[in-house]
Every structure is written in C-alpha cells, then in structure tokens.
Structure 1
Amino acid sequence: MSAGRPMLEPGALTEPFWAAAARHELVVQKCASCGALRHYPQPMCPDCHGIEYAWQPLSGRGTVYTFTVSHQAFHPAWRDRVPVAIATIELEEGVRMLSDLPAQDVDRVHIEMAVEVFFEDVVTESGRAVTLPRFRSVEDS
C-alpha cells in the first residue's frame, strides 16, 4: 500500500471548498463587495478588502498556464508516480489553481494545453478520505 498524500486538514475557511469537491463541484470564493473570484480561500478579498463572500461554481475548464515535470519523488506518496507533471491551471473564469496531472499527460503537457477538472478520491497521510479536484487534458475526456 502506498503512502497517503500530505495535506493540511480543512478548517472553517476551506471546508466549503472540500465539501463541494466531494460532490464533484469546483467552487471558489466570490467577493460580495466587488465580485472578484479568488482561490485559495482567504478571509479577506485582496482586491477591495471586503470580508463577505459566497462560493461560486466554476466551469472546470481552462488551460495550462505553466508547469514543471519532476523526476524525483518529493514524498513517499509519489514514489510510484514519477515523473509527475505539476501545473498551474488558469480557469476560464480567470482563477488559477495548482494540480498534478495524470500520468498520460506528462509527456504531452504544454503551455496553453486545454484541460478540464476531474475528481479523485484519495487517502491523506492522516488516513482521512478526501476528494481532490485535479485537471487532465481534454483529449482524455
């Protein structure tokens, strides 16, 4: 059995993000004052400093903004998964998220590659089950 993924435990600020992922929905915070979308979850809008927000569903479609391919496992959970492509995804809505890409995308990943979200159930180091939003090439859908 492979090691579980290292992850921070969800807190009050991030729990709605993880609850949506468990339902296979991708959401980010939307500022109630200025309408700016933001990810990662934050208590205050970096644009207007508003503290009220709602959770906004996203399309889950985007492109690779930048990436790197790691040939060394940086944690035992990735021991059998190298090389691994780690990409910053720019979603259609303008928000960026970080994701490791599936093995079939490692050799073909490129800047502006079209991607879409998918959801994967994993076990964390602490033994907790969590659903991760990840991204893959639209060629794989």
Structure 2
Amino acid sequence: MTPASAAARFDLPDPDAFTRPYWEAAAEGRLLLRRCRACGRAHHYPREFCPHCWSEDTDWERASGRATLYTWSVVHRNDLPPFGTRTPYVAAVVDLEEGPRIMTEVVDCEEGALRIGMRLEVAFRAVAGDDFVVPVFRPAAAGDQGHGQPRN
C-alpha cells in the first residue's frame, strides 16, 4: 500500500498532491513542517496557507525532530480497529522545537516515566503492512532529558 492508496483505511490519512511530500518524507525517516515566508512562523499540519497570517507564501522545511511533552493520556480502551489491538497507548500533545504543537503518540516509554516537559525525539512507525509510515515520539537520548522549553 502506498500513501496514495492508504485511503482504503479509515485510520490513515488520505494523502493528496499537496501532502504527499510530507508522507514521502516520513517514509524516509524525515519530519517536515511548513514555514511561512511572510511571518516566519512554522506550522503543522501541512496546509497551503499560514494559519497565523493567512499568507500562501509557505515552504516545506525539515524539522529537527526534537520536542517536549506538553500533555498526554493513556488510552486503555479503544473499540475502533486497529486501535483496540494497540492498547494501552499514549496519546500525546508535544511542542516541536520549531514552535508548532502537534498531536501524536509517545512510544518506548513506561507510563510512570512520562513527565510534562520531558524531551522527546521523533521516531517513525510503519503501519498498514509496513507500507505507510507515521511519525511518533519517544524519549530523547539520555543526554537530552532536560525539562522545560525546547532548546534554541
């Protein structure tokens, strides 16, 4: 299944001509954002205009992949396939180093170890028979576990 054919699964995004670069980059292990050339702010999810100033003068930019945990919830029950087979999982909101706040999943971390402000790094999970890749986040390497605001 390619990103273009992922629409057959309701739990996956339906890539179009505009978002295809985002999903192709994810498949290659890169996280992309859009940055506005008019106001300079980055945004996520990918869209053709800046949600801050409404300019259409935006470009793709590779994100650092670094983030801090803003909040989370451990999901113990989800009756929608395929989520029910993955419970429990950590649904989270993270602040990317570049500024946008995004919804994601935290992986490779015990529930008791989660802390607001903990440093995270992007990881990529293959789904749909390993043919579709989504960004998720995991605790950052041991030397990068500071708390508070993302580093500059």
Q: When the two structures are superposed, what TM-score results if normalisation uses the length of structure 1?
A: 0.84
Q: Percent identity?
A: 34
Which one of the candidate residues 28, 44, 47 is aligned to 2:49?
44
1:83 corresponding residue in structure 2: 88
Instruction: Provide, for residues 9-59 of structure 1, a one-character-per-residue CA deviation record: whole Å limited to 9, x for no partner.
Output: 101221111111111111100112222101011222122211121101111
Name the CA distance, whole Å, in 2 between partners of 1:106 and 1:37. Answer: 30
**Deviation at residue 74 of structure 1 after TM alignment:** 4.0
Name the CA distance, whole Å, in 2 between partners of 1:140 and 1:94. Answer: 23
Name the CA distance, whole Å, in 2 between partners of 1:20 and 1:6. Answer: 20
Which one of the candidate residues 60, 68, 82 is aligned to 2:65?
60
Name the CA distance, whole Å, in 2 between partners of 1:73 and 1:138. Answer: 27
Q: Residues 18 and 72 from structure 1, CA distance in 2 versus in 1: closer, same or farther, beyond 3 angstroms? A: same
**Deviation at residue 87 of structure 1 after TM alignment:** 0.6
Name the CA distance, whole Å, in 2 between partners of 1:22 and 1:104. Answer: 23
Question: Is residue 16 of structure 1 aligned with residue 18 of structure 2?
Answer: no
1:101 corresponding residue in structure 2: 106
Question: Is residue 113 of structure 1 aligned with residue 118 of structure 2?
Answer: yes
Name the CA distance, whole Å, in 2 between partners of 1:119 and 1:83. Answer: 19
Tell me the amino acid that sits aligned with residue 97 of structure 1: I
Which one of the candidate residues 126, 130, 133 is aligned to 1:131?
133
Name the CA distance, whole Å, in 2 between partners of 1:118 and 1:47. Answer: 27
1:27 corresponding residue in structure 2: 32
Name the CA distance, whole Å, in 1 between partners of 2:135 and 2:13. Answer: 15
Name the CA distance, whole Å, in 1 between partners of 2:37 and 2:117. Answer: 31
Tell me the amino acid that sits aligned with residue 132 of structure 2: V
Give unpaired runs (5+ residues) of structure 2.
1-8, 144-152
Aligned length: 135
Name the CA distance, whole Å, in 2 between partners of 1:95 and 1:117. Answer: 14
1:6 corresponding residue in structure 2: 11
- Which has the higher relative contact order, 1 or 2, with Cα contacts under 8 A spaced 6 or more apart? 1
**2:85 alignment partner, SS class:** coil
Q: Residues 105 and 5 from structure 1, CA distance in 2 versus in 1: closer, same or farther, beyond 3 angstroms? A: farther
Tell me the amino acid that sits aligned with residue 22 of structure 2: F
Q: CA RMSD in A?
A: 2.2
